[in-house]
Amino acid sequence: MPLKHDLPLLKSPMPFGHYQKLINRAYYRMKSGEDLFGAGGGGRKGDFVTMASHDSRIGHALAEEAHKSLRRAAKVPRRIRICELGVGNGNLAATFLDRFKELDNTHNTEFYKRLDYVLGDYSEAILKDVRKSPQIEAHSNAGVTTFVNLSADAMPFRNGSLFRMISHELWDDLGTEILVKRGDKVKKVHMMPILRTGTKIRDKNGVEVVPEEFKKDFRANDPKKLERYAPSVLKGLKMSPTESDVAWENIPYSNIVKKQLKGVKEGVFMMVNTGMIRNLEAAKRALMPRRGIYHAFDYGYWSEDEVMNGISRGGGRETKVSPYKGFGGQVTSAVNLPLGKRIAEHLGFKRVAIGAESEFVSKHLGEGVISIGHLVRFHPELLEEKTGTFEYLIKDMMMGIDTSGAFEGMKRKGKPKIIHPSFYVTRNEVDRVMGTLYGKGFKKESIDSAFKVPDRRYVHMELRA
């Protein structure tokens, strides 16, 4: 029975970070064999599409970087341990391993068999699916993979044992506190979770549950208690923000945070990605001193100036950043990368560099890449002309073009089933279908500009231990 009114779930609001952690934990638990997106029993098929989950180029670029570094090394570790954190559908791991193996053939080396590629995730459900994935199976049979249920802030590795660490769109999922200056006060954002009017509360068997029972389970603050519900209940939640005075003793590295906050404009939300901070501490311990590198890819604020003003200049245009979002039940927050850099340097990382994800891929594949979304954003006139969403426009334009099979990066085998703005295209690939692109209103000058301006909406942070 639909509810008459929106239902507040708590007596008083909870800090944003607690809310985010609870919901995301529940989200990744619930997804075992479930269909959160209503695609009809598709499980996680309709889940997040990222550059890592459906494109092969990011995995290939990471393999190139690691292999090259080993070829140049005076001494190669007996066991080359690489840990990927937050593995999603396993595509990044598979594409990395495929390319790494090929590189051994090309360079007549024997690094592949010394690999221990650790797939680390806190979701048993995700690990279970990836373990079964045909893309990964051959590598597992070759004995180069290990699956580990772990949390990003407490990794079970011997100190100094990892050659590489990799994460892609992990930090934005982790707990985050949000601070904001109001006059001479600093406030912290809290959330009141509210169940939208009309949300049907059902358990996984479709049996209706009374609101009081759901409320009780929600208040237990335990993701396991939420597991019994049909995932749609998470989609029915909305967040109502309030603010209260910050308790500095609960903010990690508060001196560094305060320093950055000084420059932030009044009223702008400053993200303190506490999960990222704990993950950086764990990474510093686990990586091999000096030669260990952490490649973290994410989205959010790339420069101090963006943090100060709450904007993004990614993609060549200034846009307002949404500090947090709900994706079909998941809660994500923009990452304050400059704060990550300040803290990583304090932790003793030797080199911390922030660049565009596309620049990293271009550099290691030796050919310029940009995302389809970036290419389209450089044609604002088309966006204005066409009705419908940005994604629709992209689909419409790319569908016809793709029949040429030009876009290698989008497909692992056969035709891509999903066309998404995050997929990469190279200059060569675009040139091959230029005729079709012109026919659809694309312009050469705009394409040239798109390839010159790095797509800074997606960021790569490289940390050398």
Ligand X SMILES: C[S@@+](CC[C@H](N)C(=O)[O-])C[C@H]1O[C@@H](n2cnc3c(N)ncnc32)[C@H](O)[C@@H]1O
Binding positions for ligand X, rule: CB under 6 A: 28, 48, 50, 52-53, 85-88, 121-123, 126, 151-152, 168-170, 173-174
286 or 430: whose CB is closer to ligand X?
Answer: 286
Say which residues have a Cβ less than 8 Å from residue 384's Cβ, sequence separation at least 6. none
CA distance 117 to 133: 15
Q: In whole angstroms, how close is the CB of 105 to ligand X at the nearest point? A: 27
CA distance 359 to 341: 19
Which ranges in 356-405 belong to alpha helices (H)? 357-365, 372-377, 380-385, 390-402
48 or 396: whose CB is closer to ligand X?
Answer: 48
122 or 360: whose CB is closer to ligand X?
Answer: 122
Q: In whole angstroms, how close is the CB of 81 to ligand X at the nearest point? A: 17
Q: Considering only CA atoms, which of 440, 454, 248, 271 is closest in space to residue 355?
A: 454
Q: In whole angstroms, how close is the CB of 68 to ligand X at the nearest point? A: 23
332 or 336: whose CB is closer to ligand X?
Answer: 332
CA distance 462 to 465: 10
Q: Considering only CA atoms, which of 16, 22, 18 is closest in space to residue 244?
A: 16
Q: In whole angstroms, how close is the CB of 40 to ligand X at the nearest point? A: 22
69 or 151: whose CB is closer to ligand X?
Answer: 151
Length, in residues, of the chain: 465
Question: CB–CB of 89/47 below 8 Å?
Answer: yes
174 or 283: whose CB is closer to ligand X?
Answer: 174
For residue 198, what is the DSSP state? T
E-state strands within 176-250 = 177-182, 185-195, 237-245
Q: In whole angstroms, how close is the CB of 119 to ligand X at the nearest point? A: 10
87 or 286: whose CB is closer to ligand X?
Answer: 87
What angle, rounded to 10 degrees, do the helices at 274-286 and 16-30 form? 70
Query: If you search the block for the tokens 């169940």, which residue do you land on?
Result: 195
Q: In whole angstroms, how close is the CB of 21 to ligand X at the nearest point? A: 8
Q: In whole angstroms, how close is the CB of 76 to ligand X at the nearest point? A: 27
Q: In whole angstroms, how close is the CB of 128 to ligand X at the nearest point? A: 12
Token pair of 429 as six digits: 């690939």
174 or 186: whose CB is closer to ligand X?
Answer: 174
Question: CB–CB of 178/16 below 8 Å?
Answer: yes
Q: In whole angstroms, how close is the CB of 288 to ligand X at the nearest point? A: 21
Position 301, amino acid: Y
Q: Considering only CA atoms, which of 4, 81, 89 is closest in space to residue 55?
A: 89
86 or 314: whose CB is closer to ligand X?
Answer: 86
As a three-state string, the secondary structure of 36-99 is CCCCCCCHHHHCCCCHHHHCCHHHHHHHHHHHHHHHHCCCCCCCEEEEEECCCCCHHHHHHHHH
151 or 436: whose CB is closer to ligand X?
Answer: 151
CA distance 174 to 16: 11
Q: In whole angstroms, how close is the CB of 442 to ligand X at the nearest point? A: 28
Q: In whole angstroms, how close is the CB of 49 to ligand X at the nearest point? A: 8
- Give CA separation, 378 vs 91, 327, 441, in Å: 29, 26, 12
48 or 69: whose CB is closer to ligand X?
Answer: 48
